[in-house]
Chains A and B, each alone.
Chain A
Amino acid sequence: MGWANCSLFEMHINRVSSVSTDPLNFECPADFEIEPFIKELKKKFPLQEESETSIHRTYCDTFDWRLYAQGGTLDIESSDSGLRLNWRQEGAISDTRRIDRPPRFVWDFSAVALRSRLEPVLEMRALLPQAEIECRCRRFKWLNRDRKTILRLYIERNRVLDPDKGQSYELNSRIRVLPVKGYHKPVQRMAKALANHPGLTPASECQLSAALSAIGRRPLDYSSKLAIRLEPQMRSDVAGQIILRHLLAALKANEAGLRADLDSEFLHDFRVAVRRTRSALGQLKGIFPPEVVDRFAPRFAWLGRITGPTRDLDVYLLNFDDYKASLPVSIRDDLDPLYDFLKARQKQAHQEMVKALDSPDYRQLIDEWSDFLLAPLPEKPSAPNALVPIQALADRRIWRIYLRILKQGRAIGAGTPAEALHELRKQCKKLRYLMEFFQSLYPKDRIKRLIKILKGLQDNLGDHQDLEVQEQTLKAFSREMMESRSVPSETLLAMGLLVQDLDRRRRRARGEFADRFADFASADHQASFRALFDSRQHREEP
């Protein structure tokens, strides 16, 4: 993992010995008496106290901790002197600047270098407050004979706020040494004095972990990736419950964010959880009684339907910059009314979706589903595959879908209608979900490699279908816009060109399918799939 686990003490020693401007930090014990400490310190060093300040420090990250996962943290400090943004990597400040307002998305960053650094990491995700700290800071400076500051020392009292409970908790006080570049000796002297002071312990520059742990959380407490641990001999119905519980947790985790429309990924992850749930219900055949599947499957299909329109519009909005970039420069701005149209539609669709989620149907579904997944399983279940070891079931289901994909793919030629590709895409999704559910049952590197091979084919099929749907929908939108006479003709012209470009790209994706499928179905890859999933009992010729 990132810097969070590295030896803090080593980090400090390195920073002191190298020519670094990074601060040094010490944590005080809970019963630490500050005044006698300051008195003693002033006897040893020519420290001058400046005015006390209060700082509200907010650690921001995306819901899925994209910055932290990359070894970075971003905090925004609000004080009398305004707002300051600090970007730290591996625990050390690598960018700090004044800002007018906190950035919510990566495109709100005005500093070009930082924006380009964070763009591929944050993508479309919003920065949300993950931890908030109120800090009272007593500031001291060490002046030399020229009254030049050669070292700064801050003593901070911190309280972490828990917005859910409306409470705050005291963290241990911290002492921060801020070296001034080019003045090493004072840092070494101060660091030594503090290190030798009874009770003080070296601490991380970043308070995020400490703050989260005070409110019972930890970093990386959400990820959209599935990490389900199963045992090969586990009963299939037990394993099924575990998988579905994971998916329900993901669904619930994203609900608040998608209701508030914090960013488009909440809805995306929510819908993925719904699709995976439907896929699990359909694919893990015979592990639950058929009436369970009948009771829940149609309701999850409904959940997929009511969230679909908002997601489609989110995708158009996310693609909008690419749409513009695909047009000749001179007419790019003509497309802007389409953005307003999409935005208005998205808002409306989102409202309707929230209304559906507010309905008793949704609440009942989640409650009943939750009850089912937490209920103890019968010792002698009626479902035929409930007691089958999950390894056997996983092998069998994956191998069967894989064979079906090979068969369907081979039947697709240059003139085959698009429906066949759509059908193939669905099968690929089923296979992908199964491989992800059961990852822990197979050697990590081998299953990851096969998922990657499958992804290559999925990307092509996905592009083909997405482009086709976009083409059709944009045509429908342009008809609507024309009838309502709400947009200038230039916009419709630009949309016409856009549709042309989408069509060109769709045909290109269609043209590439044969090669992509040939790669997926190569003898080498087939052998790899066979070796991993074709258990002896179920050997079939592909």
Chain B
Amino acid sequence: MRILATYSIKGGVGKTAAAVNLAYLAALDGAQTLVWDLDPQGAASFYFRIKPKVKGGGRKLIHRDRPIDDLIKGTDYDRLDLLPSDFSFRHLDLVLDQTKKPTRQMLSVLKPVADEYDYLFLDCPPNISLLSECVIEIADAIVSPVIPTTLSIRTLDQLTRFIEKNDCGNLEMMPFFSMVDRRKNLHREVIETLPEHCPNLLSALIPYASDIERMGIERAPLCSYSGKSRSAKAYRLLWDEIKRRLNDSRAVC
């Protein structure tokens, strides 16, 4: 099972939309795919029309009092499942802090389903916390949306330094431009200049588009109801690029 975390320190950058659509495309390709909605706001769960409720809450889940497989829900799409969010996830940091080896604990929570799924997408809450440290340590890749603005680039820098400091082995950093508005000069400028400084930046661009925002109304992955739209095609390009990058890194390993 390859673990991909959609993560950014900054909120509102298109993390959940990316997690939901990439996972949908992975499943469409035939891969058994699981999304774990780690964000207590439960946006990914909302998109899949699944109640943000986990029996026993985050504590029982992390302490393995409830097997993870009992908590997973099937989405409306073949091969795509969700481990929903729960409001108690706002205290996940605290729960992990009280655990002896939090990263190892996260891995043992996932172990029972590791053979069942080809991909696990972790949709993370936007902050730097113990939870995000665990996520960074267990993930094979961090898929990080970046709005082409100065502030977003600053947070990308912060994240990159944070990852370097934590020495995460083979972790692949995969930033990509999100919510791109080509009418804005700043966006165009950043898109032109950033790749030089950030060689691992993916080339696919996710536009700022109303059809992506409509996901909240449709409560479904964009690619499922508007598969031929420009935005859906952009997610397809992004997913194909991520797959290639993952295969290359596997070959190197």
Q: CB within 8 Å of B: which residues of A?
A: 19, 21, 96-98, 111, 146-149, 179-183
Nearest B residue to A147, CB-CB: B49
Nearest A residue to B76, CB-CB: A149
Q: Is the CB of A182 within 8 A of B76?
A: no
* A21, A97, A148: the one within 8 Å of B30 (CB): A97
Residues of B within 8 A of A149 (CB): 76
Q: Can you pick out 9 interface pairs between chain A and chain B where the beta carbons lie within 8 Å of each other?
A: A19-B70, A21-B74, A96-B78, A111-B30, A146-B49, A148-B48, A182-B71, A182-B73, A183-B73
Q: Is B134 an interface residue (CB 8 A)?
A: no
Nearest A residue to B77, CB-CB: A149
CA distance A426 to B159 in the complex (A): 73
Q: Is the CB of A96 within 8 A of B72?
A: no
CA distance A407 to B189 in the complex (A): 90
Pick from B28, B30, B51 the residue with the most CB of A within 10 Å: B30
Q: Is B50 an interface residue (CB 8 A)?
A: yes
Q: Is B86 an interface residue (CB 8 A)?
A: no
| Chain A interface mostly | loop
> Nearest 9 pairs between A and B by C-beta?
A97-B30, A181-B74, A182-B73, A148-B49, A180-B74, A146-B49, A149-B76, A98-B30, A182-B72
Q: Is B236 an interface residue (CB 8 A)?
A: no
Q: Is the CB of A183 within 8 A of B74?
A: yes
- Chain B nearest CB from A92 CB (Å) reads 13
* Per-residue interface assignment for chain B, residues 225 to 240, with 1 indicating a CB less than 8 Å from any chain A CB and 0 otherwise: 0000000000000000
CA distance A153 to B28 in the complex (A): 21
Q: Is B164 an interface residue (CB 8 A)?
A: no
Q: Is B10 an interface residue (CB 8 A)?
A: no
Residues of A within 8 A of B48 (CB): 148
Q: CB within 8 Å of A: which residues of B?
A: 28-30, 48-51, 69-74, 76, 78-79, 81, 219
- Chain B nearest CB from A188 CB (Å) reads 15
Residues of B within 8 A of A146 (CB): 49-51, 219
Q: Is the CB of B81 within 8 A of A148?
A: no
- Check A181/B79 contact, CB under 8 A, given A98-B30, A146-B49: no
| Chain B interface mostly | loop
CA distance A180 to B71 in the complex (A): 13
Residues of B within 8 A of A19 (CB): 69-70
Pick from B29, B49, B79, B81 the residue with the most CB of A within 10 Å: B49
Q: Is the CB of B30 within 8 A of A181?
A: no
- Chain B nearest CB from A102 CB (Å) reads 15
Residues of B within 8 A of A181 (CB): 72-74, 81
CA distance A183 to B81 in the complex (A): 12
Residues of A within 8 A of B76 (CB): 148-149
CA distance A96 to B118 in the complex (A): 13
Pick from A96, A149, A182 the residue with the most CB of B within 10 Å: A182
Nearest A residue to B30, CB-CB: A97
Residues of B within 8 A of A182 (CB): 70-74, 81
CA distance A97 to B32 in the complex (A): 9
Given contacts A146-B51, A148-B50, A183-B73, 6 further A-B contacts (CB under 8 A): A96-B79, A146-B49, A147-B49, A180-B73, A182-B70, A182-B81
CA distance A19 to B78 in the complex (A): 17
Residues of A within 8 A of B30 (CB): 96-98, 111
Nearest A residue to B79, CB-CB: A96
CA distance A149 to B69 in the complex (A): 19
CA distance A149 to B74 in the complex (A): 9
Residues of A within 8 A of B78 (CB): 96
- Chain A nearest CB from B253 CB (Å) reads 15
CA distance A183 to B49 in the complex (A): 13
Nearest B residue to A144, CB-CB: B49
Residues of A within 8 A of B51 (CB): 146
CA distance A457 to B212 in the complex (A): 70
- Chain A nearest CB from B95 CB (Å) reads 22
- Chain A nearest CB from B244 CB (Å) reads 16
Nearest A residue to B51, CB-CB: A146
CA distance A181 to B81 in the complex (A): 8
- Chain A nearest CB from B87 CB (Å) reads 17
- Chain B nearest CB from A141 CB (Å) reads 8
CA distance A147 to B49 in the complex (A): 7
- Chain B nearest CB from A479 CB (Å) reads 41
Nearest B residue to A182, CB-CB: B73
Pick from A98, A147, A148, A179 the residue with the most CB of B within 10 Å: A148
- Chain A nearest CB from B243 CB (Å) reads 13
- Chain A nearest CB from B188 CB (Å) reads 38
- Chain B nearest CB from A89 CB (Å) reads 14
- Chain A nearest CB from B51 CB (Å) reads 8
- Chain B nearest CB from A446 CB (Å) reads 41
Nearest A residue to B67, CB-CB: A19
Residues of A within 8 A of B29 (CB): 98
Residues of B within 8 A of A180 (CB): 73-74
- Chain B nearest CB from A83 CB (Å) reads 11
- Chain A nearest CB from B7 CB (Å) reads 25
CA distance A480 to B167 in the complex (A): 60
CA distance A98 to B71 in the complex (A): 27
CA distance A336 to B49 in the complex (A): 55
CA distance A111 to B72 in the complex (A): 25
Nearest B residue to A111, CB-CB: B30
- Chain A nearest CB from B78 CB (Å) reads 7
Residues of B within 8 A of A179 (CB): 74
- Chain A nearest CB from B160 CB (Å) reads 32
- Chain A nearest CB from B31 CB (Å) reads 8
